Amino acid sequence: MKILDCNLNFGATNNGEPYQNCDTFAELLEELGRCGIGGGLVRCGYSSTVGVNYGNDFVARCVKSDEAKKFDLYGVWAVLPPYTDETPKPEDLPAAMKENRIGAVYLSPRTHRYELNALTMGETLDVLQQKKIPVLLNTANGIWMDQIYRVMAEFPGLTAVVADQDCWPNARRLYPLAYHYENLRLDLSYVMDAGGVEDMTARFGEEKLVFGTAFPYRYTGSMLAVVRSAAISDGAREKIFGGNLEKMLEEAGLK
C-alpha cells in the first residue's frame, strides 16, 4: 500500500527546543524510510521563518535532488499577493510549479502579513481554482479558521486541503466545510478523535480525506496507526493513505 503524507515539514527552527525538529531534508528522508511513508507534500519552514523565496527555492532543490528520487515527494510553495512581484505571477505559477516538482501551495496571511481576500489574492486564487492546484489551508501555518471560511466562500471551487491544528478534536469547525465544498479535502494530521476517521468516511466519503502526519511536530506513528486500524474498507484506506493525493496531483497536472 502506497502511503503519501500531505503534511511533511523540515527546516531548522532556531527555537532552542529539543522537540518537533527536523532540521534537514536528509533527516526527513530518514524518517520516511523508518516509518514506511513513500512520499507526499513537503514544506520547507524557511518559507515562513526566513524568506518566502529562500524557502521555496530550498524545497524545490531538495525534492529534485538525487537522494529524493526513491520517494514520491513534491514540494509545497508559499504564494504571496502578486502586487509586490515576489513570487511567480499567477499565470506563470502552474508551469513554474511543474518545472520545480511542486505539488501544492500554502496560504499564510498571518505570517506573511497580507489580507487574504479577492482584491489581494483573487488573480492567484482564480488560477489555482481553475487549474485544480492543491491549496493547503492549515491553521498551524499562519491562517485562522475564519480566514479559511472566508476564502472558501469567495472561491468555493478551490481544491483546498484543510487542517486545524489543535489539542482538541474540532469536528464542529471542520464538518461544515467538508459538507459544503465539493473540492475541499480534510488533512487528517490532527484528527486524533476516537472514531473520527470512521465518522468522516461515513459522512463525506473517503475521497474527502487525505493522510497527513504533521511531521516533525507530531509523531508519524500516531496517524499511521489510526488509519491502519480504522474500521473502514481496505479500498477506502488505500485512497486515504495515498490514492486521493495522487489523484489530486494528477488532476492538477503536477504529477
Nearest-CA neighbor of 54 among 64, 62, 44?
A: 44
Q: How far is the CB of 9 from other proteins (least distance, A)?
A: 11
194 binds other proteins (CB under 8 A): yes
Positions 20 through 59 that interact with other proteins (CB under 8 A): 20-21, 33-36
d(CA 109, CA 89): 18
Q: Judged by CB under 8 A, which of 83, 144, 179, 219 binds other proteins?
A: 219
Residue nearer to other proteins on the CB measure, 77 or 215? 215
Quote the least distance from Cβ 78 to other proteins, whole Å.
Answer: 23
Among 122, 129, 171, 251, binds other proteins (CB under 8 A): 171
Can residue 114 be called a binding residue for other proteins (CB under 8 A)?
A: no
Given phi > 0 = left and psi -120 to 50 = alpha, else beta, which region is 87?
beta
Query: Which of 84, 85, 113, 167 touches other proteins (CB under 8 A)?
Result: 167
d(Cα 54, Cα 180) in Å, to the nearest integer? 36
- Backbone dihedral region of 209: left (phi > 0), alpha (psi from -120 to 50 degrees) or beta? beta
Are 12 and 50 contacting, i.e. CB atoms less than 8 angstroms apart? no
Burial of 217 (0-12, 13-18, 19+ CB in 10 A): middle
Q: Does 198 bind other proteins (CB under 8 A)?
A: yes
Give the shortest CB-36-to-other proteins separation in angstroms: 4
Nearest approach in angstroms of CB 105 to other proteins is 25
Read off the C-alpha cell for 90: 499567477
Nearer to other proteins by Cβ, of 50 and 171: the residue is 171
Please identify which residue in 18, 84, 85, 146 interacts with other proteins, judged by CB under 8 A: 18
Considering only the stretches 44-52, 63-71, 150-158, 197-205, report the one whose residues sit in contact with other proteins under the rule CB under 8 A: 197-205
Of 46-54, 80-88, 107-115, 192-200: span binding other proteins (CB under 8 A): 192-200
- Alpha-carbon dihedral 81, 72, 164, 189, rounded to 10 degrees: -170
Q: Tell how far CA 21 is from the center of its chain.
A: 18
Distance CA 207, CA 244 (A): 6
Of 36 and 253, CB closest to other proteins: 36
By the rule CB under 8 A, 238 interacts with other proteins: no
Is 165 within 8 Å of 214 (Cβ atoms)? yes
Q: Using the rule CB under 8 A, is 15 a contact of other proteins?
A: no
Residues paired with residue 10 on neighbouring β-strands, in sequence order: 44
Q: Is the CA virtual torsion 17, 21, 23, 26 positive or negative?
A: positive
Query: Which residues in this chain contact other proteins in the complex, by CB under 8 A?
Result: 18-21, 33-36, 167-169, 171-172, 175, 192-199, 215-226, 228-231
